[in-house]
């Protein structure tokens, strides 16, 4: 009898503790300052994609917004998850439960993004994923509090595949062997097959591999027309550099499925020239992007990637929505975020869809040759604009439970 | 998983050539390790970290002093051998008399410390080191285009390994070294300064690792993780080859590189694991290693 009582008591106290935590953090959300967290890879292969530049971008958004909202100061925290999902999950939990962070952004690394979006959903907190590609975030793993901001596998593959498929039917993939690479490859492969092409082989490599010789040689031996790189960051730079060393580009085309301007800078135009890929942002696109990017460059020392521009955009839109909603409560803020189109130098007119995709333009770029480029960071020729509405997976095909069919 | 090409001669030969390049690195590094173990009875786990340090020293020489590759190839081993001298004189010399597991622990700790220092400042992604201009370009081998630099790596490491073998087996200094390994007390009686010889051996072993580091910089990119990635493979090579003969270690290093190359055709994900499977089999069947001699 006593034992039964004891276990009942323990059960009630555990239940109370768990719920008290969420109740107290919900109360704290309105009590303390608005806190934003930037969680990404600051020392690994994706350090240049977002990294410290993303933290700076968030900082700039807070400064441009005025530094405070709802009469309270806005606080920024950041952490390096080192591409380890367990570390990222622990940091996210600590931020939400102990430090009362209201929103987490960036989240480079697809595996990390899925994990943190899951944690955010449980705790009813907003996560604005401004990097990573996995389409799972807006399909099986979708969240009413999550927005996939800058790009995803579908919008990245769309441009290059459609540009090359007419004259190039045989494709070979060099893929980073984890969630991101596999998702990017399967999304692009489906697109290739639907458009009449053929995937004749693949070669996988571990994340942050430095020697791509065997994968490149396998691609060469396959006789494919196009070698598609389903990897990113330093993996892409290494693959392109070594592909040039092995003379691949003489007979075969290289298509990168995810490259940003910092990768092109590290590869050098000699290696990267002719490379085709989609980006959501280019610093030199227009006067608005130039103005912001010059400010960013002064403080960071490198031009912003689409991830860093995306982080600025996400933080700014979030803060505007908090102000409009009059509270930091996630449901109210999300409602305002969805109702208002994004308005900044990079993502003007973008709208958040029911599945969490931020619908916006994507741009197809080709890297200039060294003779075409007028100076450092003058790297891209615009080949095409893929308009909002056509960039992302059609919403009817989404597996997200939030999409009403 | 892997391309649907199945064993075309082009694929096999080209992967073997890549395997030969990797094998050359394994050969130089495991040679240094084997020599150090033979002389000092120390399992020099810091060999990988000093390989990485060598690559970074080469990178610094280029970035800060504008000293290009060829001079770096000669300067770096000397600089890192200096670091090795400090390690040997102040740390390792104190633990020769005790069980060699402590040598392993000490060098393991050193390796972690060195790697962490570099990680703190340089993260984990690689710094680019350009291929020297006079080694750029490719050789058309018919079945593949071999970058000249990789052919250079194979050539230089072969010369390095053979030179080391010659120095140890055929010169007087080498004979002193071998004598000191077999019986340090007796060798001392002949008036040979054994502690000094030990120090030189350690510096040379470490210098070889640094040399391999500069050689690897243009291929693998200079990254703090270079050492930890390769040291486990080197250990496996040394275990498989055994600690008896110089030539045996060289042959094992190259063979493991070739086997890894073939594994990459058949089952790329298993190319790393195959080395350890072979190591396990060798340990069961012939514990002293393929070319090893039983320790008395």
* CATH assignment of the domain containing B91: 1.10.3470
Contact across the interface for B5 and A222, Cβ inside 8 Å: yes
Q: Which two tokens stand for residue B171?
A: 């010169």
CB A148 within 8 A of CB A356: yes
**Domain housing B33:** 9-285
pLDDT attached to residue B223 = 85
In the numeric block, the tokens 């997976």 are attached to: A393
Cα A149 to the center of its chain, rounded Å? 7
pLDDT attached to residue A80 = 93
Nearest CB partner across the interface for B126, out of A82, A204, A234: A234
- B220 band by pLDDT with thresholds 50, 70 and 90: confident
CB A62 within 8 A of CB A74: yes
Higher pLDDT pick, A17 / B105: B105
Q: Is the dihedral of CA B287, B288, B294, B296 positive or negative?
A: negative
Name the region of A274 (left: φ>0; alpha: ψ -120 to 50; beta: rest).
left
Helix (H) or strand (E) holding A353: none
Contact across the interface for B3 and A202, Cβ inside 8 Å: yes
The answer as to whether B2 is a domain residue is no
Which residues in B lie closer than 8 A to residue A178 (C-beta atoms)?
none
Which residues in A lie closer than 8 A to residue B222 (C-beta atoms)?
none
The answer as to whether B3 is a domain residue is no
pLDDT attached to residue B4 = 46
The answer as to whether B295 is a domain residue is no
pLDDT tens per residue across span A74-114: 999 999 998 999 999 999 999 999 999 999 999 999 999 99
Which residues in B lie closer than 8 A to residue A239 (C-beta atoms)?
none
pLDDT of A11 > 90? The answer is: no
State how far the Cα of B150 lies from the Cα of A88, in Å rounded to an integer.
39
Which residues in A lie closer than 8 A to residue B5 (C-beta atoms)?
201, 218, 221-222
Q: Which two tokens stand for residue B74?
A: 């000669």
pLDDT attached to residue A15 = 63
pLDDT attached to residue A297 = 95
Residue A71: how many CB atoms within 10 A of its CB? 6
Strand ranges for A235-294 from DSSP E: 253-256, 276-279
Residues A161-165: what's their mean pLDDT?
Answer: 90
Contact across the interface for B3 and A221, Cβ inside 8 Å: yes
State how far the Cα of A276 lies from the Cα of A392, in Å rounded to an integer.
18
pLDDT of B126 > 50? The answer is: yes
Q: Which residues have C-beta within 8 Å of that of residue B55, sequence separation ≥ 6?
A: B129, B213, B214, B216, B217, B220, B222, B226
pLDDT attached to residue B2 = 45
Q: Is the dihedral of CA B150, B153, B155, B161 positive or negative?
A: negative
Please count the structural domains in chain B.
1
B233, B234, B236, B237 alpha-carbon torsion, rounded to 10°: 120
Residue A30: how many CB atoms within 10 A of its CB? 14
This complex has an ipTM of 0.77
Q: Is A43 on the interface with B (CB under 8 A)?
A: yes
Q: Is A172 on the interface with B (CB under 8 A)?
A: yes
Residue A92: how many CB atoms within 10 A of its CB? 27
Higher pLDDT pick, A46 / B214: B214
Nearest CB partner across the interface for B8, out of A214, A221, A241: A221
State how far the Cα of A110 lies from the Cα of A91, in Å rounded to an integer.
16
pLDDT of B3 > 50? The answer is: no
Nearest CB partner across the interface for A247, out of B22, B145, B226: B145
Nearest CB partner across the interface for B268, out of A214, A222, A241: A214
pLDDT of B114 > 70? The answer is: yes
The answer as to whether B296 is a domain residue is no
Nearest CB partner across the interface for A213, out of B4, B8, B18: B18
Q: Which domains does chain A have, with CATH numbers?
A: 9-151+286-361 (3.40.50.2300), 155-282+362-386 (3.40.50.2300)
pLDDT attached to residue B120 = 82
Residues A343-354: what's their mean pLDDT?
Answer: 92
Q: Which residues have C-beta within 8 Å of that of residue A368, sequence separation ≥ 6?
A: A269, A273, A378, A379, A380, A381
pLDDT tens per residue across span A114-123: 999 999 999 9
How many residue pairs from chains A and B have C-beta atoms closer than 8 A?
Answer: 95
Q: Which residue numbers of B have CB closer than 8 Å to A's CBs?
A: 1-5, 8, 10-11, 14-15, 18, 21-22, 119, 123-126, 128, 131, 138, 144-145, 147, 149, 219-221, 223, 225-226, 261, 264-265, 268-269, 271
Backbone angles phi, psi at B211, to 5 degrees: -60, -45
The answer as to whether B293 is a domain residue is no
Q: Is A209 on the interface with B (CB under 8 A)?
A: no
- A19 band by pLDDT with thresholds 50, 70 and 90: low
The answer as to whether B4 is a domain residue is no
As a whole number, the mean pLDDT across chain A is: 89
| DSSP letter for each residue of B236-272 | HHHHHH-SS-HHHHHHHHHHHHHHHHHHHHH-GGGTT
pLDDT of B44 > 50? The answer is: yes
């Amino acid at each position: 009898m006593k034992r039964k009582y004891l276990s009942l008591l323990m059960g009630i106290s555990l239940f109370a503790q768990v719920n008290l935590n969420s109740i107290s953090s919900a109360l704290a959300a309105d009590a303390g300052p608005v806190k934003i967290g930037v969680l990404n890879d600051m020392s690994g292969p994706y350090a240049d994609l977002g990294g410290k530049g993303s933290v700076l971008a968030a900082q700039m958004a807070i400064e441009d917004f005025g530094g405070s909202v709802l009469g309270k100061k806005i606080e920024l925290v950041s952490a390096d998850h080192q591409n380890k999902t367990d570390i990222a999950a622990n940091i996210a939990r600590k931020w939400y439960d102990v430090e009362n962070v209201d929103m987490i952004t960036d989240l480079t690394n697809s595996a990390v993004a899925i994990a943190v979006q899951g944690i955010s959903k449980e705790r009813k907190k907003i996560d604005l994923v401004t990097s990573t590609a996995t389409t799972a975030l807006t399909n099986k793993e979708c969240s009413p509090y999550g927005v996939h901001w800058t790009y995803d596998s579908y919008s990245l593959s769309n441009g290059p595949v459609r540009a090359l498929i007419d004259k190039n039917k045989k494709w070979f993939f060099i893929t980073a062997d984890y969630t991101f690479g596999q998702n990017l490859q399967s999304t692009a492969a489906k697109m290739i097959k639907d458009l009449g092409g053929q995937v004749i082989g693949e070669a996988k490599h571990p994340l942050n591999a430095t020697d791509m010789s065997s994968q490149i040689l396998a691609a060469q031996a396959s006789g494919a027309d196009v070698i598609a790189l389903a990897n990113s960051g330093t993996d892409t730079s290494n693959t392109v550099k070594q592909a040039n060393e092995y003379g691949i580009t003489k007979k075969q085309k290289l298509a990168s499925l995810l490259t940003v301007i910092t990768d092109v800078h590290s590869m050098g135009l000699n290696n990267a020239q002719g490379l085709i890929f989609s980006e959501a942002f280019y610093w030199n696109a227009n006067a608005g992007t130039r103005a912001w990017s010059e400010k960013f460059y002064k403080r960071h020392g490198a031009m912003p990637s689409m991830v860093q521009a995306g982080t600025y955009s996400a933080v700014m839109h979030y803060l505007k929505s908090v102000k409009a909603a009059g509270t930091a409560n996630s449901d109210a803020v999300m409602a305002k975020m969805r109702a208002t189109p994004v308005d900044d130098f990079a993502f003007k007119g973008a709208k958040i869809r029911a599945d969490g995709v931020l619908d916006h333009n994507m741009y197809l770029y080709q890297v200039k040759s060294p003779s075409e480029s007028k100076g450092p960071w003058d790297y891209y020729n615009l080949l095409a604009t893929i308009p909002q509405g056509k960039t992302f997976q059609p919403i009817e095909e989404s597996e997200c439970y939030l999409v009403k069919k | 998983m892997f391309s649907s090409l199945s064993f075309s001669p082009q694929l096999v030969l080209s992967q073997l050539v890549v395997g030969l390049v990797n094998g050359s690195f394994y050969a130089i590094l495991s040679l240094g390790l084997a020599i150090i173990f033979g002389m000092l009875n120390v399992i020099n786990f810091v060999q990988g970290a000093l390989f990485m340090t060598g690559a970074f020293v080469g990178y610094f020489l280029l970035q800060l002093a504008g000293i290009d590759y060829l001079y770096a190839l000669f300067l770096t081993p000397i600089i890192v051998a200096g670091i090795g001298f400090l390690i040997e004189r102040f740390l390792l010399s104190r633990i020769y008399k005790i069980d060699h597991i402590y040598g392993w622990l000490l060098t393991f700790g050193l390796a972690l410390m060195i790697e962490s220092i570099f990680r703190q400042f340089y993260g984990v992604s690689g710094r680019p080191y350009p291929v020297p201009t006079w080694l750029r370009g490719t050789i058309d081998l018919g079945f593949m285009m071999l970058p000249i630099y990789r052919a250079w790596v194979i050539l230089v490491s072969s010369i390095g390994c053979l030179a080391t073998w010659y120095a140890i087996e055929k010169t007087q200094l080498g004979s002193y070294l071998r004598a000191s390994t077999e019986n340090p007390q007796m060798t001392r009686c002949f008036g040979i300064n054994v502690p000094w010889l030990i120090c030189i051996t350690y510096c040379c072993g470490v210098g070889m690792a640094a040399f391999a580091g500069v050689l690897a910089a243009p291929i693998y990119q200079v990254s703090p993780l270079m050492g930890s990635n390769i040291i486990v493979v080197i250990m496996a090579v040394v275990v498989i080859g055994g600690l008896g003969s110089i030539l045996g270690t060289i042959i094992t290093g190259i063979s493991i590189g070739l086997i890894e190359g073939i594994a990459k055709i058949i089952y790329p994900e298993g190319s790393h694991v195959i080395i350890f499977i072979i190591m396990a089999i060798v340990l069961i069947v012939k514990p002293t290693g393929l070319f090893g001699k039983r320790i008395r």
